Every structure is written in C-alpha cells, then in structure tokens.
Structure 1
Amino acid sequence: MINLYKQRQSQNRVLILTSLTVLASSLVLPFQQAFAGTLTTVVNFNGTNGATPTAGVLANTKDQLLYGTTSAGGTSGNGTAFKLSPTTTFTTLTTLVNFTGASGINKGTNPVARLFQAADGNLYGATSTGGTSNLGTLFKLAETTYTTLTTLVNFTGASGINPGANPAARLIADNANANILWGTSSTGGANNKGTVFKVPTTGGTLTTVVSFNGTNGATPLARLLSATDKNYYGTASAGGTSGQGVVFKLTPAGVLTSYSFSGANGANPQAALIESSGFLYGTTKVGGANNKGAIFKVPIGGGTPVLVGSFNGTNGANPTAALIKASNGNFYGTASAGGANNKGVIYQLTGATITDLISFNGTNGATPQSTLIQLSSGALYGTASFGGSSNLGTVFKFVP
C-alpha cells in the first residue's frame, strides 16, 4: 500500500512537471515574439505631401527634427523635401520644397538620396534627374527654414563643365576640409559608368576624382564612407572581374583599388558600407547562398568581400540599404522584399544569423529601401517606398 502511494506520488510529480513544462513552452513563444519590436506608421504619403520615398530620413540636425525627400509627388509630381515635427512624435509633415524639373526655382527631379547637414548648418542633397541637362543636380537648402533651394551643380554627362550624371547617393564631408563635399554619380564621366567627385559647399565646378571604367567598377549607387584610416570606401553595383560589382578603396589623392564580388560572396551592392571593430560591413541586393542578397565584410584597408550571412526570402530578400549598428550593439537593416508577405522586412544580424523582426504587409508599408537611423531614445526610423493608406509610401518608427 505504501509502495502504491509512493508510486502514485511519483506519477503525479511527473504529470505536474510535464504540465508546467508545457505551460512554460506556451508562454515562451509570445515573449520571444515580443522581443522582435514594435512598428508604428508615423506618416502616410498621399501624393500631395510627396510620394515614393526611397531615401531615409536625416536625424541629429541642429534643431533635432527629421528631414527627408520623396522621389515623386508634390505640386509638380517631381518630388519634395520635407521635415517632420514635433520632436516628441514626428507626425507633422511640412513640405519645404517642391522640385520643378529642368527650369523653375527648384531645379531637379526625383531626389532619391538622403539629405546631409554640413558643418555650415545647411542641408545638401542630390536629384537623380532634372536640371539644365536633365541629368541631375546637387542642391543646398539654406539653414533655419530650409525652404530656400540653391542649385549648386547641373550634371552634364560624359563631358562638359560638371561631368557625371544621375547621382543616387548622399553627399559626405571631406575628411580634412568641412567645406568640401564628396559624392558619386551613377552614370556619366569619361566612360559613362559613373564617377566619384568632390565639390565646394558653395557650388560651382566640381572635380572628378575617379571615372569608373568597368574593370574597377561601374554604376555606384551608394554614398562613400570616410573610414578611420582616412581613406574613402564605397561600392559599385556593377563591373569588376565578374561584372557583379565591387567594393573599392579610394585614397584622398584619388588612387582607387577595387575588390570584386563573385556571386557566392554577394552581387550587385547598392548600399553604403559601415565600419565596426576593424571591418567594413555591407549588403548586396542579390548573390549569396540563395541569390536573394547577402551581408559581407572586408577588413579596413581593403580585401576580397567575405560572406557573413545570406538572405533566404523568409528572413528578407534584395536589401538595398546599409546596415546600422544600434546602441544595443546589434546590427539592423531593411530588405526591400521577402518576409511573410514578400513586401520587405526589418531584420537583425547576430553573428551570421539574419532574423526577420518585422514583415511589412502593405498597410504598414512595403518595399523599404532606406537605411535606418537611430535617435537618442533608441527608436529606429526609416521609410517604405510603397504601402500605407495611399500605397505611396510611409515613414515608420521601429522600437526593437
């Protein structure tokens, strides 16, 4: 009898422990999902206030507001520059500039590059088309109201006073002179395969530092990075030994060295590089293990790109935006496709593992092509080129 009692007690303990294990398992999943984060739509573009934002927003300006561009929409349908206020929610959009095309007060169309605030306080940007030759422009928005636009450069193509065409990337400051800006044009130049240029903040004639020739790269779509070794680094989406794009190192004197993608380590890079712990990290739109895009790294100083992780569709596909390293030490990014709805994702990179944190569904945005930015609050902000209430794009906030 005593043995039977002990046996039943033992069986009951097993049942209780099993039940607790099942209960714990059922509780773990929601908590793990909660760690993914929260996505909030900040602005829905409707055409009048802009449409199809392909560039992300600019943060950490002197007034602590957010600034951005849309590649279409506005009064002429040629794109806008805007600001978001107040600093607590950033839900109020004010249109600063409506781009007008080849003529008019605000020359230029289709701004696809993020704005840049120089040391002088002004905002600088590029339009990929428009201007006097319809090959793109560089412009300045004067500090304080940022509503007065000055066209600094009209690109002229293969030759002319300002060779280069169709700039698609943000400008950066010279690493030794804050009054000089560096940038890339995706076409034009001596071989019509794109350029690296520099120009004074006052505008005028730009200096072509490099004309890409195919062998050393072609069609650069991303901004340059000024690294801690005082060299400039970037990507070109085509060219190189396999025609699948390159990472390049450019000295301040203009000496360029390229390192080619092979497909296995990525292909068709369209995003800028970031620096972390002695390496440069970047993304490619295709290539990798599944030909859906990859994350790679190269050592500072240059070298053949090394595959870090591959996108597989479920965790995202076809990233066109750079990584960011957040204040919590994790890497985050957006992929323009893939995820649960094939409308793009926000992902986290941990080691070699890419995890889908948020899958866009159309209502909350679609096709994010921009690099995320982080505010002091820890929240990440970005843009989706489509989706939202009018399917013309959104600005979103993500709290990981």
Structure 2
Amino acid sequence: MSSRALWPRAHDDHEPHEAGEEDCHAGPVALGRLPLRIGAIFILLVLTLVTALVPLMVSRKTRMNATARAAMFIFKYVGTGVIIATAWMHLLAPAIEQLGNECVGHVWPVIAGYPWALCIGLMTIMVMFLLEVVVSSMANDGDGDDGLGHAVTIAGSCDSNDVLALKKSVVDDEDEARIASPPRTAVEANNEKQHQQHHHQQQQGVRDGQTQGGFAGQLAATLMLEFGVVFHSVFIGLTLGTTADDKFNMLLVVLVFHQMLEGLGLGTRLAVTPWPKRKGWVPWVLALGFALSTPMGMAAAIGTKPPSQMATQTLINGIFDAISAGILMYTGLVELLAHELLFEPAMRRARLGRRLAAYGCVALGVFAMALLAKWA
C-alpha cells in the first residue's frame, strides 16, 4: 500500500501550497458511508476466515479421498506463490515507496538518501536464517555425535533406494560373518543381543531427534509466517478504514480477493505442518487470528482519528512492511519453494509432469497476487 493511500491529505488540492514541512501534515480524515465501512469489517472477517479454514478441513480427508489430495496439492503450491508475490509486490514495493517518501526524508533526515526498505528486508532475512539455525541446533541437542549418528544422518539424506541397499548389504555381511564364525557360548550370545538392543535404541533416538529438529524448524517458519502476514493485514485494515469514499468500493473488492488468497496460503501452511495431537487446536486459533487482523485494523481506523503527522505514520508503515517482506520472502523462497519443490523426498522421486504441475500452481499464485498489485 502506498503512503498516499494510507493517509489521505486534508488540504484542498486546488489551493496553492509549498513543498515542505506543512505539506507533510494530514488533518483528520472525514469518513462517510459508515454503514458500508462497518459492514466491510464483517465481510472481510467471514471470507478470510473461510478461506483460511478450508485447507484445514480438506486436509483431514486426504487419506481416503483422492479429490481432497488433489485439492491440497493445488492449495499448497498456489499458496506458496501467493506468499512469494505478497512479499515482493505488496510489501517490499510499498516499503520502498514509503521510506523513500519526501515527507519522511524531510522530517527524518537520517532516512533520506539510503535504501532503508531493502536494508531492513535484508536484515530480516538474516535474522530469520539465524533463528532457524538456533532452533534446529537446540532441537537436536543431546542426540550425540558418535559415528552411528553420522551414519544415520547420511543415510537419511540419501535416496530411499540407497538406504534399502545399504541395509541389505549390512544384513548380508552379518549373515556371512555368522555362518563363518564358530559356535558361540550362551554368554557371548547374550552380550550380542544386548549390543543389538543398544544399537537399535541409539538409532531410534537419532531418528526421534531428527524428527523433532525438522518439526521445530517447520513450526518456527510457520509462526514467523503468521507474524508477517498478521502485521501486514493490520495495516491493510488501517488503509481500508481511512480510504476516501470515492475509492472505497474498488479498494474493498480488491482487498477481499487479496486477503482470501493470503488466507488460502496461510491456511495451507497450517494444514501441512505436522502438529502434535495435543496441539491440534493451534492451527485453528492461528487461522482465526489472521482472519481477525484486518477487521481489527479497520475498526481501529474507523474508531480513532489518524495523527496529524503523516511522515511518522508513513515511516512506521514502511518499516513494518519491510520487516514483513523479509519474513515472507525467506519463508516463501527457502522454507516453501526450495524445500518442497527441490528437497522434499516425495517430490524428488516424482515424475517431471507432477513437478511441472506444482510449478504451474506456484506460478498461478504469483500471477494472481502480482495482478492485484495493480490496484492495491
């Protein structure tokens, strides 16, 4: 959203004025058509909540229903494209405009002459990566660092056929050694049995640690995605709540589609995250939190008058847009696009047609959100 749309000017455009500090103030916004604005709060709430919950409901039927699996495939990759395009077209581009605004540079000279939006987005990406490194490391603490751990880790990173071949080779070697060895005493047999049990426990511990580490990384990425989308949605609500009457209808229609697509993308992420059974309620609460964010921002804009200092509000909005852009950019390109199209075992074994279908869904999501950037 541009700063011009966020905080409308109060002076008459036909009156002469000089550029400078007086030009960077906005008076109270006159809000008309109040019933429509209040109705828009509930329209946004219902539609965004429905689109965020649909993937969660469909995901519960994927095991027995081929249609549900196909729908989740489409939702998953279209949602990835929506998140990526939102980062570039709906967050980073407005942040560059807002932090490069002449009024912001006039009131805050330190902002002028430097691409702060790009810098903040870049720093956010670095923080996101550091967070993932720390979370993954903490989740894997205590797994041990012996040769077995390395062997299981390497085997886990190989193709499943390679792992099966490795297991078969080990079994064959053990069989040959057992045939060639002389008869064992009862004590030796008992010691070998205990050793095998300990070996199995170590393997299970390493697998559990890897599962916990993967889930911790997914959970951190999902929560950061929720954070970025919710902050962006709050400012969308502020924008819509203070939009002039003659532009309100058009912007409402565009933002409804915008939020529905974002809800689809976020809801799909929540649906594919492997939540523990005791935490099965968490994705539903997060979906509700997203649905409430835009109506809350809009209600705040209607119920309170925007401050008269436009530069400060533009600066704040630009900073949060840049932060949200970095979060969604990292999540969309690294956690979603790269992991799910290049590194996910099932997709690596998939045929080219399935991989191209996934890419087509991503491109569709990117196109839809990029097109909406023409109006909002």
Superposed pair shares fold, TM > 0.5: no
The structure that has the greater radius of gyration is 2
- Normalising to structure 2: TM-score of the pair? 0.20
Per the normalisation by structure 1, the TM-score is 0.20
Structure (1 or 2) with the greater helix fraction: 2
Q: More relative contact order in 1 or in 2 (CA 8 Å, sep 6+)?
A: 2
